Chain A
Amino acid sequence: DAGITQSPRHKVTETGTPVTLRCHQTENHRYMYWYRQDPGHGLRLIHYSYGVKDTDKGEVSDGYSVSRSKTEDFLLTLESATSSQTSVYFCAISDPRGQGNSPLHFGNGTRLTVT
């Protein structure tokens, strides 16, 4: 899986609690992304990072924050989890070269259930 580790793999949490998901890569890729995948919606971008301390919002960023203090780690935090954030979360990395965008390589995912 291109040297990408997501933790935890599964988590059940209660509404209103904070949750942090971690993505760790060993590829030294500059770009990192957090997606969520839900039935009927496909993969939707939450936040992304083009480098250390360089992050930006995706299309479904409300209720989420991210941090990237090191090249290899990208953290996704749900400040106060809600049932609508029950989903499978994927981290992805890419190493852009040339003019075209390079493909994403995905971690194994984190299945989050908010009760």
Chain B
Amino acid sequence: QKEVEQNSGPLSVPEGAIASLNCTYSDRGSQSFFWYRQYSGKSPELIMSIYSNGDKEDGRFTAQLNKASQYVSLLIRDSQPSDSATYLCAVSANRDDKIIFGKGTRLHILP
């Protein structure tokens, strides 16, 4: 059974600080990794995709992947109240494999 684990939170972070969200996965053959943001009552929206070990930056967001440790993280710099949401980690092994989601981490940015 392939699993994706996230701390459910809530994770409370002061405005302007760095929020760090973590995700571990069980399938060592995983190749594709995604972070989604979901506001309450809304659908998930893609923030980042990452496929190679290391860091990938996009604006205030940085995804970090360590395949040896089976660990992927999302950093949000200069956190804003609008970043308050649930963040979903998703993983798949290859192109035609199903994408498995973690249960999400609730992030609360404190004004």
Q: A100-B32, A106-B44, A108-B43 are in contact. Are A42 and B101 (CB under 8 A)?
A: yes
Q: B67: CB under 8 A from chain A?
A: no
Chain A residues with CB under 8 A of B32: 100-102
B25 within 8 A of A: no
How many B residues are at the interface, by size bracket? 20 to 34
| Nearest residue, chain B, Cβ from A107 | B43
> In the assembled complex, which residues on chain B have CB atoms less than 8 Å from the CB atom of A106?
43-45
Pair A104/B43 contact, Cβ less than 8 Å = no
Bound Cα distance from A99 to B98, whole angstroms: 14
Which residues of A from 48 to 100 have beta carbons under 8 Å from B? 48, 50, 58, 90, 96, 98-100
Residues of chain B with a CB closer than 8 A to A105's CB: 46
Q: Which residues of B contact A42 (CB under 8 A)?
A: 88, 101-104
Task: Tell whether, in the assembled complex, residue B95 and residue A48 are in contact, meaning their CB atoms are under 8 Å apart.
Answer: no
Please judge, given known A-B contacts A42-B104, A43-B44, A90-B44, whether A101 and B94 are in contact too, CB under 8 Å. yes
Once bound together, how far apart are the Cα atoms of A105 and B90, in whole Å? 12
Chain B: minimal CB distance from A111 (Å): 9
For chain A, residues 1 to 50, give those with C-beta under 8 angstroms from any C-beta of chain B: 1, 35, 40-45, 48, 50
Tell me if B44 and A99 are in contact (CB < 8 A): no
In the complex, B73 has a CB within 8 A of chain A = no
Residues in B whose Cβ lies below 8 Å from that of A1 = 43
Alpha-carbon separation in the docked complex, A43 to B36 (Å):
12
Render B17-49 as a binary contact track against A, CB cut-off 8 A, 1 for contact.
Answer: 000000000000001101000000011111001
Q: What are the residues of chain A within 8 A of B58 when measuring CB–CB?
A: none
Given contacts A42-B88, A101-B32, contact A90 B98 (CB under 8 A): no
Give the A-binding residues of B (Cβ under 8 A): 31-32, 34, 42-46, 49, 51, 88, 90, 92, 94-99, 101-104
